[in-house]
Structure formats: C-alpha cells, structure tokens
C-alpha cells in the first residue's frame, strides 16, 4: 500500500563532506600514492535523501556545523529538491573515502557536528509517513538518545520506521547483541544490511522479531529478503562489471526501495528499484549519480 497522508519520506542522520580519493594503484603505506581527489556531499542519511528526492517527497533531518561548509552542503541538498531541516552548531564533519581500483572503499570518518544531534522538534515530522535511520545515528550517546526519541515519536504517530545496519565497524563498536536489542525495541518495518553486516548480526539464522523485513544486499550476488513470516526471496542483481566506486550504492538502494514502497510496490519490485538506482552511482566519485560529477 502507498504511504498515507502526504507520503513524505524523512531521513535522519549525517550530512558531511566526503573527500573521495580514487587510488590509481595498490595503497603503499608510508609513501606517496598517485590519486585523484574529489570533494562532494556525503553522509549516509543525506545520500538517501538526495537519491530519493527525485522519486518521492523527501525530508532530511540532521545537524551541521555553523560554518560555510555546512551552509554549502545544505544548499546542495535543497537544490536537489530535498526539504532540509537541520540544527546548526560546531564544525561540519568530513569523511575521507579511499576508493581502491576494484571499486571497494575504506572510510575514515570525522562526523563533526552530526555526532552532536540534539533533541529534534516533533513538528519536523509533520506530514512524514516513513522515517529512515542509518545506524550512524547511533554512533554516539548524544545522537543515539535523540534519534531513538524521534523514532518513538514517529511510531506513536503511526509512522513506519526503517533502519540501515550501515557498517560492520560501527556494529562492532556498538555491539551486535546490543544493536539487535535496539532493533527489537524500535520495531522497524525494514532492516537493511549488506552480507557482512547480516553475518555479524546473525540475520540469516534469526531475523529480528516483530514483523521486521530483512533486506540483505550481496553486492553483485542476489539480494535476499526475509519476510515477516520467514519466507525468503532472492532477487537477482542486473549484471554489472567492474564498478569504479561503490560509495553510496547502499544508500541509493535504500532510496530506491523505500521510494518504490511509498508508491505502492511490493517487495520484489522494490528490491529491483533499489538495484536500478544503485547502479546509477557506480561510475561517479562518491555518492552521486554518474552524470552529476565529471
């Protein structure tokens, strides 16, 4: 069923600058490495909002620094059609993304102001029918407590919530068992994870309770969906050879999936929509559609 009311998709979390470094060979520690450097918008939540904005009404909720970088990133999101609601204070964060020749990436995050998300006004959810939260929002106690508070407000108002597991490093720091407890409390309609995150959480053996649908992405391998009744679906990924940069592909997948659900698609069609949108970012530096950055 389509989302009720206005069908606004809200995304809560980080908006930062990505410094994307395309390596031209294997990384050599302790010396120079030829590379091409790109600066672009980043932050998993901001990426999802940007990718979804061309498909459904979308709002971004987060915190940026009270600095020129933060103002510029907000302007970029607004120019892409995102309804931006941000707190301001401190210093805008940055992430150095090392992209290897096979398209895989290594990230060095400094989340800056995003880590200090304060209490979010309830009226920032006005008109929202689904709230999506990448797990980076749980990386600090301050951000976690305020993110969870907003998720509870969303649930009390009859809005659906989705969560992305986001990062094995984050999950290890947070604690896999503790994260599963959070998911059980939040009762999201959907939990996104890649295969490594799903393995760490044991989702293949014991998906979260309370009717949560688990969507497990496998890169070029089929996406596995575990439905609320335990049924498993395998949805093939279109053939793709040698992606140059996988940064943001998971965010684009989430955006395509959630936008399709908002428009009334069933799960297999939503997964296909996620695959289709993710494929559009694999040739661009960072989390951008291929034609956005040369």
Fold of 8-27+34-279: 3.40.1190
> Is 60 exceeded by the pLDDT of residue 293?
no
Q: Average pLDDT of 93-119?
A: 90
Distance of alpha carbon 75 from alpha carbon 209, whole angstroms: 40
**pLDDT-derived band at 229, boundaries 50, 70, 90:** confident
Q: What pLDDT does 294 receive?
A: 36
> Is 60 exceeded by the pLDDT of residue 282?
yes
> Is 80 exceeded by the pLDDT of residue 112?
yes
- For 241-266, write each residue's pLDDT tens digit: 567 777 778 999 999 999 999 989 99
Q: What pLDDT does 241 receive?
A: 56
Instruction: Considering the candidates 75, 229, 251, 283, report the single residue annotated as catalytic.
Output: 251
- Pick the more confident residue, 181 or 294: 181
Residue 186 has a CB neighbour count (10 Å cut-off) of: 21
Comparing C-alpha atoms, which of 291, 262, 257, 290 is closest to residue 276?
257
Contact between 119 and 91 under an 8 Å Cβ cutoff? The reply is: no
**pLDDT-derived band at 239, boundaries 50, 70, 90:** low
Task: Indicate the domain borders of the chain.
Answer: 8-27+34-279
Contact between 225 and 213 under an 8 Å Cβ cutoff? The reply is: yes
**pLDDT-derived band at 5, boundaries 50, 70, 90:** very low
**pLDDT-derived band at 102, boundaries 50, 70, 90:** confident
Percent of the chain beyond pLDDT 70?
Answer: 95
> Is 50 exceeded by the pLDDT of residue 3?
no
- Pick the more confident residue, 205 or 173: 173
CA distances 32 to 29, 96, 102, Å, are 8, 16, 20
Q: What pLDDT does 233 receive?
A: 94
CA distances 29 to 21, 26, 33, Å, are 15, 10, 9
Q: Average pLDDT of 191-204?
A: 94
251 is catalytic: yes
Q: Average pLDDT of 223-246?
A: 84
Q: What pLDDT does 46 receive?
A: 96
Q: What pLDDT does 2 receive?
A: 40
> Is 50 exceeded by the pLDDT of residue 149?
yes
> Is 60 exceeded by the pLDDT of residue 152?
yes
Q: Average pLDDT of 1-16?
A: 75
Q: Is the pTM of this model over 0.95?
A: no
Q: Which residue shows structure tokens 């979260």? A: 208
DSSP secondary structure of 159-213? -EEEEE---HHHHHHH-HHHHHHHHHHH--SEEEEEHHHHHHHTTTTS--STTPE
Distance of alpha carbon 209 from alpha carbon 79, whole angstroms: 39
> Mean pLDDT for the chain?
90
Long-range contacts, 31-38 (Cβ 8 Å, 24+): 36/285, 38/285, 38/286, 38/293
């Amino acid at each position: 069923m389509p989302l009720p009311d206005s069908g606004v998709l809200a995304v809560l979390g980080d908006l930062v600058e990505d410094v994307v470094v395309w390596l031209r060979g294997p990384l050599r520690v302790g010396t120079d490495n030829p590379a091409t450097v790109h600066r672009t918008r980043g932050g998993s939540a901001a990426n999802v909002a940007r990718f979804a904005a061309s498909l459904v009404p979308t709002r971004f909720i987060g915190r940026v620094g009270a600095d020129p970088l933060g103002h510029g990133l907000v302007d970029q999101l607004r120019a892409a059609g995102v309804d931006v609601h941000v707190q301001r204070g401190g210093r805008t964060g940055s992430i150095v993304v090392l992209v290897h020749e096979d398209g895989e990436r290594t990230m060095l995050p400094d989340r800056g102001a995003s880590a200090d998300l304060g209490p979010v006004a309830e009226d920032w959810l006005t008109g929202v029918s689904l709230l999506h939260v990448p797990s980076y929002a749980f990386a600090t106690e301050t951000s976690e407590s305020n993110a969870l508070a907003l998720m509870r407000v969303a649930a009390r108002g009859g809005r659906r919530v989705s969560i992305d597991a986001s990062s094995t490093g984050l999950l290890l720091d947070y604690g896999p068992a503790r994260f599963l407890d959070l998911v059980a409390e939040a009762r999201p309609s959907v939990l996104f994870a890649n295969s490594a995150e799903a393995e760490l959480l044991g989702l293949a053996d014991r998906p979260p309770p309370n009717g949560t649908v688990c969507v497990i992405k496998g890169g070029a391998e089929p996406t596995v969906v575990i439905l609320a009744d335990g049924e498993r679906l395998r949805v093939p990924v279109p053939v793709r050879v040698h992606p140059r940069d996988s940064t943001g592909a998971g965010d684009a997948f989430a955006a395509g999936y959630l936008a399709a659900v908002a428009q009334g698609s069933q799960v297999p069609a939503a997964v296909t929509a996620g695959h289709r949108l993710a494929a559009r970012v694999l040739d661009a530096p960072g989390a951008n559609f291929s034609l956005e950055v040369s």
